[in-house]
Structure 1
Amino acid sequence: MNVLVTGGAGFIGSHISERLLETGHAVTVLDILDPYYDLGLKERNVERCRDAGGDRYEFIEGSITNDELVRDVVSGRDIEFIYHQAAQAGVRTSVENPKKPHEINTTGLLNLLLAADEYGVERVVNASSSSVYGEVEYLPYDEDHQNVPQSPYGVTKLTAEHYCRVWNEVYDVPTVSLRYFTVYGPRMRPNMAITNFTSRCLNGEPPVIYGDGKQTRDFTYIDDIVDANCSLLETSAADGEVINVGSTGTITIESLATHIVDETGAPVDLEYDDAKEADARHTHADVSKATDLLGYEPTVDIREGVSQFVDWYRANRDWYEPLVLNS
């Protein structure tokens, strides 16, 4: 199958691309290479996928906000399936600059949907986020929970979900939106808490927690995210749906930091700073819908996953840590 992965030089997109190449598909990646964090990591992801896919892999540098480029990529390569992972990520970043995530996360998606309709793409899988939930009414979140996003980023992701629903219902373009819950693992973004805590501990510095540390997160290991995405190559049961993809468990940020201190053996204590605006207090996924429709079963819990990540970080520290410190 000819597959387009937008944002395929990034953390999640590159892992999806790699799995697709391993299973024999042809992958085209469209990525603007935005220096949101050190581009060395994205460039390394591209080379890794190129090595895995050979002539079945093509990288195109460009933006999904360029309508003509999107149409040329989809039509010129006979794209049959789209994994839309490109986004301006970051709740805190969106508070500082709300216009950029709107243009990329909303207008960019609309360009993809228009091209998918025009050129008969079989399915568009949209990467959404637990940030669409916002204010907690009950936990764990199921997909019927109210959506009251607390950041511009969350608003753009919810808008994108509605565009996907409308394209499925009105234009007969099969779409699925997967609501990710804090994804982590090897090659993860340098500006995430797990990366930051690990780097600081391995350099003898205390992890810094924003707020009281009692906030909880549902962290999802990258392999589970890739499994959920790739299952959609085989089924139409989820067309038109929004689906949570999480781990089913939670951990406080304080416990997470303590676990990383223990795993690294760092002789440090935790430090605390002021809470960040628009950060969610709690996230927790009900994944029963994903189980019913996709056969999804998360395989890695947070403590096991963090241990694996710390081991990976140590093994790749020579090239990965400079990118973390530079981001």
Structure 2
Amino acid sequence: MRILVTGGAGFIGGHLAEAFARDGHDVVALDNFEPFYDVGLKERNVEAGRRAAADGDGSYELVRGDVREADLVDEQVGDADVIFHQAAQAGVRTSVEEPQKVNEINVSGTLNVLEAARDSDTERVVVASSSSVYGKPEYLPYDEDHPNTPVSPYGASKVAQEQYTRVYNEVYGLPTVALRYFTVYGPRMRPNMAISNFVSRCLNGEPPVVYGDGTQTRDFTYVGDVVRANRALLDTDAADGEAMNVGSTDNIEIRTLAEEIRDQLAPDLELEYAERNDADSEHTHADISKADELVGYEPTTTIREGVERFTDWYRENRDWYEPLVRNS
């Protein structure tokens, strides 16, 4: 099967491209190498995809380009059987500073993908959404019927992206699925994320820095579980037209997470606290029963297991990864 992964040199897109190439598929990774963080990390994702293809029966091709380029998107989509649309301008805080750019990439870029797929023989478009669509919780865990009241331009762009995805299914009959990711982490994660910073600071004898009072909670999802959720959509059409949560087995307070990482790596350190950004959600927690029912999604990695795996990976790759974290 020929698979197009937009944002294929990014964190989640890179893991998807690697997994699909290892599974024997012909993978095209489309990425514009936006320097939101050090692009050297994206080069590592590309290397992983190429190694996976070399180790298996699949192939891997990198195309440097932007989903805002409609002609390029038309060309790449036209050759794909399935599209995993991961390309996005990430970062809640970045979206507060540059809301128009976020809209251009996340909304207009998605429209380019959907429109190209509508005019092709594409079998399915899987779109990466986010728990940011929910915003302020009226209840937890979030199920897919929870109101969407995002608290950032990033969250608003994901709501718009999801609605276009649904409309292209309903109006044009294009098989589409939107997956609402909940704070994905793991090897080769973005260097400016909480877990990577907690681990880095502890390994270097520096106190973990918690933004706010630390009572905010997150549903952290290990990247391997996210890959399994996406992989399941190669084999079923049960979820077409749907939006589904892709979360973990539980949620955890940020303060507790920092303490657990500290206790494992540098128990003598005290936590430090800094001012919190108002655009950050207070709490996230996924009800994953819909994804379980439709595609058999069952996360297998707890936050404690996932952090241990990430820490082991960090140590093994410290020589090149740590400078990215320290400079983020």
Q: Which TM-score applies when normalising by structure 2?
A: 0.97
What is the rounded CA distance, in whole Å, between the counterparts of 2:62 and 2:111 in structure 1?
21
Q: CA deviation at 1:265?
A: 2.5
Match for residue 135 of structure 1?
136
What is the rounded CA distance, in whole Å, between the counterparts of 2:207 and 2:43 in structure 1?
30
What is the rounded CA distance, in whole Å, between the counterparts of 1:277 and 1:137 in structure 2?
18
AA matched with 2:41: L
Deviations 1:262-295 (A, max 9, x none): 1213531100111112111100000000100010
What is the rounded CA distance, in whole Å, between the counterparts of 1:8 and 1:262 in structure 2?
35
Match for residue 42 of structure 1?
42
Match for residue 72 of structure 2?
69
Deviations 1:118-164 (A, max 9, x none): 11210000000000000110000000000000000000001000000
Is the contact made by 1:65 and 1:104 (CA closer than 8 Å) also made in structure 2? yes
Q: CA deviation at 1:248?
A: 3.3
Is the contact made by 1:264 and 1:310 (CA closer than 8 Å) also made in structure 2? no
SS in 1 for 2:119: helix
1:248-263 correspondence runs (5 A): 248-263=249-264
**1:146 partnered with 2:150:** no
Deviations 1:79-130 (A, max 9, x none): 1100001100111111111111101000000000011011121000000000
Match for residue 118 of structure 2?
117
What is the rounded CA distance, in whole Å, between the counterparts of 1:220 and 1:47 in structure 2?
24
Match for residue 85 of structure 1?
86
Is the contact made by 2:129 and 2:178 (CA closer than 8 Å) also made in structure 1? yes
Query: Number of residues paired by the alignment?
Result: 325
AA matched with 2:46: V
Deviation above 2 Å: which 4+ runs of structure 1?
A: none
Percent identity at matched positions?
63
What is the rounded CA distance, in whole Å, between the counterparts of 1:51 and 1:222 in structure 2?
19
What is the rounded CA distance, in whole Å, between the counterparts of 1:142 and 1:165 in structure 2?
17
What is the rounded CA distance, in whole Å, between the counterparts of 1:192 and 1:121 in structure 2?
34
SS in 2 for 1:226: helix
My pick for the range that moved more, 23-32 or 260-269, is 260-269
What is the rounded CA distance, in whole Å, between the counterparts of 1:295 and 1:162 in structure 2?
24
Match for residue 221 of structure 1?
222
Match for residue 267 of structure 1?
268
AA matched with 2:77: V
Q: What is the root-mean-square deviation of aligned Cα atoms in Å?
A: 1.0
My pick for the range that moved more, 143-152 or 263-272, is 263-272
**1:59 partnered with 2:70:** no
Is the contact made by 2:6 and 2:87 (CA closer than 8 Å) also made in structure 1? yes
AA matched with 2:53: G
AA matched with 1:69: L
Is the contact made by 2:249 and 2:301 (CA closer than 8 Å) also made in structure 1? no
What is the rounded CA distance, in whole Å, between the counterparts of 1:152 and 1:143 in structure 2?
20
What is the rounded CA distance, in whole Å, between the counterparts of 1:97 and 1:277 in structure 2?
16
Match for residue 302 of structure 1?
303
Is the contact made by 2:106 and 2:158 (CA closer than 8 Å) also made in structure 1? yes
My pick for the range that moved more, 112-121 or 43-52, is 43-52
Q: CA deviation at 1:302?
A: 0.5
Q: CA deviation at 1:203?
A: 1.0
Match for residue 243 of structure 1?
244
SS in 2 for 1:119: coil
What is the rounded CA distance, in whole Å, between the counterparts of 2:276 and 2:73 in structure 1?
39
What is the rounded CA distance, in whole Å, between the counterparts of 2:163 and 2:200 in structure 1?
38
Is the contact made by 1:204 and 1:267 (CA closer than 8 Å) also made in structure 2? no
What is the rounded CA distance, in whole Å, between the counterparts of 1:144 and 1:121 in structure 2?
29
